[in-house]
Structure 1
């Protein structure tokens, strides 16, 4: 029963962490893109003025940053749950 209760209790925490991770990843991506290109805005796939290479490079960089931030947040929350409960969450 305690395991089920812990899962229910962690759901809102995980949701909030996911939203925060997405926001953080977006901010990191904007800064990295600005440093890499000097351009304030990353290209959108529908932007007719930007070339294929630039659009695909931006998408790949954004995906990599989001994946790393998501993994870091997930791992940190699991480690925090273990500190609180004494076992690794499922």
Structure 2
């Protein structure tokens, strides 16, 4: 039953995660580089190092935001139901 209760929270959280991670990445990139545009892998004017560093940073930020959102959702389900959703 707890897994079923967590399912809608997990779906909503997943949709929000990508948007939040993208915004966080853009802000961090802007602070770190003074550039408004984040590098795109197919941008001919950007070098390999810049593209790969940006991709690694974006991936790390996404993973951190996803873990935080998933953990928060699971904790919320525990508060509502008294049990962790994976029990």
Give yes or no for TM over 0.5.
yes
1:26 to 19, 22, 33: 22
Write the deviation string for residues 37-67 of structure 1: whole angstroms up to 9, x where unpaired. Answer: 0011111111111000000000000001000
Alpha-carbon separation, structure 2, partners of 1:21 and 1:43: 20
Deviation of the 1:7 alpha carbon: 2.9
Relative contact order, higher structure (CA 8 A, sep 6+): 2
Query: Runs (4+) of structure 1 moved beyond 3 Å?
Result: none
Deviation of the 1:9 alpha carbon: 3.7
Aligned length: 86
Write the deviation string for residues 8-43 of structure 1: whole angstroms up to 9, x where unpaired. Answer: 343222111111111111000000000000011111
SS at match of 2:83: coil
Alpha-carbon separation, structure 2, partners of 1:79 and 1:44: 36
Unaligned runs of 5+ in 2: none
